[in-house]
Amino acid sequence: MTYLDLLFIPVTVIYFLVVTTLFMYGLNFLYLSYHAWKKRDALESEPPKNLESFPFVTIQLPIYNELYVAERLIESAAALDYPRGRFEIQVLDDSTDETVALVARIVDRIQAQGIDIHHLHRAERHGYKAGALADGLKTAKGEFIAIFDADFVPNPDFLKRLLPYFDADNIAFVQARWGHLNGSYSLLTFLQSLSLDAHFAVEQLARSQLGLWFNFNGTAGVWRKTAIVDSGGWKAETLTEDLDLSYRAYLRGWRARYAGEVEAPSELPVSFTAFRRQQHRWAHGGFDCAVRYIPLIWKSDASLAQKIQASLHLTGYMIHLLLFLCVFLYPLVVAISVRYPGLISLFGLAVLFNFTALVPIALVAVAQKSLHKRWFAILPYMVTLAALGAGLMLNTLRAALQVWAGRRGAFERTPKYGITARAQKWESRRYYVNVDWLVIFEILLALLNVGTVWLAIQNSNWLIALYAVIFAAGLFFNSGLTILQAIQRRFPRGPLADSP
């Protein structure tokens, strides 16, 4: 009896469990895509009604060392088309560098224009972003709280278009759709724009239209102050305070609305190390919230559909972990298929199930078409986008292991450089996130996938060869771009400036 005989049963069972779970996630993506396409007109609809009165709004701008974008953010908030006597601005500044002095000058200038704006600087960054929002809420005068992160530039009509959605007393928050100031800056920002469009034009739209639970995205939205307080307030217990508060609000009986036709432009990360950090934080927070709230969700009075969809939503990053398992299962599946030829058809059926791992591409196509973009032109980038996601599997695995080990981790914000045009350079600007040692393991894992490609081709298992190629390409792309940007930063070409 060989080791393959010993591994036959456990590998077969695990493999079918993995691909069946992937199939379940894939079918759900198709379900959401179908309903988002049916409801795509909601991305162009008008608000439920025009504002008949102007409730007082507190605009919170949480920032931390944002030398390059602080001025742009504060000025856009001050330029909102809303009666001056009916809003205030809180600049929640946790900065430890020259941003503090810069913000103070900007706030003084805007105060001189008769706008109610406050510079709230904390000496200690307790609770990170959640702590800053909570501290600001203590003195907030608004019935509603609008929140914008430092990378956003809200349009002047933002408040007038979102506030009408609070047409019932049990609406906790209204979320707008993110736009992109620099989606065409590089391949990385373009792929991010495709992914975010899929999230906002498909997932958020479909969930909201179907009466399912969807989350506040941390920025470009408005909360009812009483809903925040009733749900327990902002907490720094997870790295995704927005997701955490959203689900606590739902469990308290609150509802939410999605204003997909209102676009809030934002700057996408141009640094791959910064993008990694962002994805790690989102994955860590998602897993943490899943552990905390899925048991409570299934004990709640929510409908069965809401419970199922909330569970799939909170565990969305599980797909990366399943793909990681596939990396090690594929060579074993090929080897076992060779030893037991009669299983080829059975394993082939399971591999067909794996096609649903590529179903998220359908979200992208539906999103681009719904947003009246040239969806056909982006088809060549679909596999690249799939590879980018697969290449994050180790990044996500580390986040999952940290949650499993009970490590909360520090909230590390994503650096912004004020980059909106291709001619701009960012390599010499501060706040650079250093290269992660994880790239070494990504390269090794990519090489393992190259071996799987060779093994699969030798045995004419073309589907596994295809998946292994995508995995290898993604891991090489992610690690290679990380290293390349580090080299470009170490040896810059041309004049570079470090000024806001």
Query: Residue 49's pLDDT band (boundaries 50, 70, 90)?
Result: confident
301: in domain: no
Q: Which one of 93, 116, 151, 242 is the catalytic residue?
A: 242
300: in domain: no
Which pLDDT does position 358 carry in this prediction?
62
Which pLDDT does position 469 carry in this prediction?
94
How large is the average pLDDT for residues 159-181? 96
**CATH number for the domain that contains residue 60:** 3.90.550.10
Q: 258 and 222 in one domain?
A: yes
Which pLDDT does position 380 carry in this prediction?
79
How many CB atoms sit inside 10 A of residue 216's CB? 23
Q: Which of 239, 270, 301 is the last residue of a domain?
A: 270
Output 377 or 105, whichever has higher pLDDT: 105
pLDDT tens-digit map of 180-239:
999 999 999 999 999 999 999 999 999 999 999 999 999 999 999 999 999 999 999 999
Phi, psi of 98 (to 5 degrees): -65, -10
* Residue keyed to tokens 């800053």: 132
Q: What is the length of the chain?
A: 500
- pLDDT over 70 percentage in the chain: 93
Q: 383 and 439 in one domain?
A: yes
Q: 195 and 339 in one domain?
A: no
Task: Supply the pTM of this predicted model.
Answer: 0.92
Range of the domain at 437: 3-37+317-490
Domain count, the chain: 2
How large is the average pLDDT for residues 40-52? 80
pLDDT above 50 (res 496): no
The mean pLDDT of the chain is 90
CA dihedral 73, 49, 180, 78 (to 10 degrees): -10
Which pLDDT does position 362 carry in this prediction?
81
pLDDT above 60 (res 347): no
Six-digit token string for 236: 């720094």
62: Cα within 13 Å, side-chain hemisphere: 23
pLDDT tens-digit map of 440-480:
999 999 999 999 999 999 988 888 898 899 999 999 999 99
pLDDT tens-digit map of 356-396:
656 777 889 899 999 988 777 787 788 888 899 999 999 99
Which pLDDT does position 12 carry in this prediction?
80
Which pLDDT does position 81 carry in this prediction?
96
94 belongs to the catalytic site: yes
> Closest Cα partner for 412 from 384, 432, 429, 439?
432
Q: 209 and 166 in one domain?
A: yes
324: Cα within 13 Å, side-chain hemisphere: 16
Q: Which one of 94, 116, 151, 436 is the catalytic residue?
A: 94
pLDDT above 60 (res 494): no
Q: 376 and 246 in one domain?
A: no
Q: Which of 242, 270, 298 is the last residue of a domain?
A: 270
